[in-house]
Amino acid sequence: MPIFSQPEPRDDWPHVVLVGGGFAGLLCARGLARTRVRVTMLDRRNHHLFQPLLYQVATGGLSPANIAAPLRALLASQKNTRVLLREVTGFDLENRRVHCDGHEDLEYDYLMVATGAGQSYFGRDDWARFAPGLKTLDDATRIRRKVLLSYERAEQSDDPAEIEALTTFVVVGAGPTGVELAGALAEMAAGTLKGEFRSVATERSRVLLVEGRDRVLPPFSEDLSRTALRDLEKLGVEVRTGTMVKEIGDGVLELAPTGNGDTDPERLRAGTVLWAAGVEASPLGGILAEQSDAGLTRPGKIEVGADCSLAGRPEVFVCGDLASFHQDGEELPGLAPVAMQQGRYVARLIGRRILGKATEKPFRYVDKGSMAVIGRRLAVCDIRGLEFRGAIAWILWLFVHLMYLAEFQNRVLVLIQWGWNYVTRGRSARLITDEPGSQRSEPTGGG
């Protein structure tokens, strides 16, 4: 960024408040670097997270710091931007105010809300305890601990049934995250951990991937779905499509064929159940809907207009997973590139409005392709209709993800870590760290 072209910010410049430092928020902030506005970025976490690689932290391949960077560091060189670690609790759109937890309201001239989505358990929030989802770094280290502890407990058991249960891993949902998690768990069992245990044959672990619809990776073509299925089975993953989860408890779950409620469900013991099935937009969407003419879709997304703004509130924008944006009659998927392009668009639009220029053209998402990795040299890519499989797709996946990580200083480190992991089949970040509320037995109890 050419810092020299940034003028010294002035107090009378319009104030843009960005809520959420994900892809949309970060790209919007960067897009406003040389605009005559004051920008305030609010986030309840201090880091921007490269969510697409979260599954690699959950399976011990990368460290949290490899895929996250302090927002403050990413935006340090933008003189007109400040970052505040704050939880936003609501808005007063009429008076253009943002309510923050434990702080005074912030006034804005323009507001962009992009707080993303969390897991949805389709009304069964009680399952969250037994089947954690993967949305934050803390989720990832929690899953890593759960998976590693299962093996540790299995190693100490004499009961074959218990060992089998502890080494059974179920991933619910066969979208990209579910597929990537299941593939990584299978590779970990058969490769990384092999030979490290004395009474557990980790390569005999069961990894199940459960999907309600009739194929894995439903957003991809049927052909790529079939490839992904074959690749998963090659890695030893048991794929159960057309299968619904009926019940989840502590170490058990019940499965039944989709749409056939009468069948006796299959009961399964599984030490680890991971949830990658549904998302639910951030609760801030509901608050925005109450104060505007915008509607709310079922998973809590808020409908936005062609310029990503709220109906009746042209100065309020919603982007990324929280927004329901329709293009050619279809809702855009909750993907990082959508959020990035929307964030950049809103920055451009605000810049034009400030200068009194004609309004920007409607937002249009350019789909550069989608990809999912299954394992070592196994991936599927769909790049504008061109389909790739196997090693070529995997190399494309690596390349694209490293390019995206360009925003971070640590691209080189990730590349080297991956190279190392590839050669050694190792996952060095296999650490079991503190469980909230866990026993601590240092002489003095710690801090």
The contact mask relative to a second copy for 396-425 (x = CB under 8 A, - = no) is ------------xxx-xx--xx--x---x-
**Considering only CA atoms, which of 135, 12, 136, 30 is closest in space to residue 74?**
30
User: From the CB of 252, what's the least distance to a second copy, in Å?
Assistant: 16
User: From the CB of 113, what's the least distance to a second copy, in Å?
Assistant: 15
Selected from 92, 107, 159, 196, the binder of a second copy by CB under 8 A is: 196
Query: Which 109-148 residues touch a second copy, going by CB under 8 A?
Result: 117-121, 125, 128-133, 135-139, 141-143, 148
User: From the CB of 183, what's the least distance to a second copy, in Å?
Assistant: 21
Pairing of strands 386-389, 378-383: antiparallel
Selected from 64, 242, 249, 257, the binder of a second copy by CB under 8 A is: 64
Q: Is 14 in the site for a second copy (CB under 8 A)?
A: no
User: From the CB of 248, what's the least distance to a second copy, in Å?
Assistant: 11
* C-beta of residue 142 within 8 angstroms of C-beta of residue 132: yes
Q: Is residue 180 annotated as a catalytic residue, yes or no?
A: yes
* C-beta of residue 90 within 8 angstroms of C-beta of residue 80: no
Q: Is 296 in the site for a second copy (CB under 8 A)?
A: no
397 is written with which tokens?
Answer: 């996946």
Looking at the chain, how many residues does it have? 447
Options 180, 187, 211, 303, the catalytic residue: 180
In whole angstroms, give the CA distance from residue 188 to residue 194. 8
* C-beta of residue 135 within 8 angstroms of C-beta of residue 238: no
Query: Which 201-240 residues touch a second copy, going by CB under 8 A?
Result: none
Q: Is 442 in the site for a second copy (CB under 8 A)?
A: yes
Selected from 34, 73, 376, 418, the binder of a second copy by CB under 8 A is: 73
List, as own/partner pairs, every contact residues 383-392 make where C-beta atoms lie below 8 angstroms and the sequence separation is at least 24, other chains included. Answer: 387/221, 387/223, 387/224, 389/224, 389/227, 390/227, 390/231
Selected from 23, 24, 28, 47, the binder of a second copy by CB under 8 A is: 47
DSSP-based three-state secondary structure for 104: strand
In whole angstroms, give the CA distance from residue 401 to residue 407. 11
149 is written with which tokens?
Answer: 């502890």
Query: Which 267-286 residues touch a second copy, going by CB under 8 A?
Result: 275, 280-283
Q: Is 77 in the site for a second copy (CB under 8 A)?
A: yes
The set of catalytic residues is 180
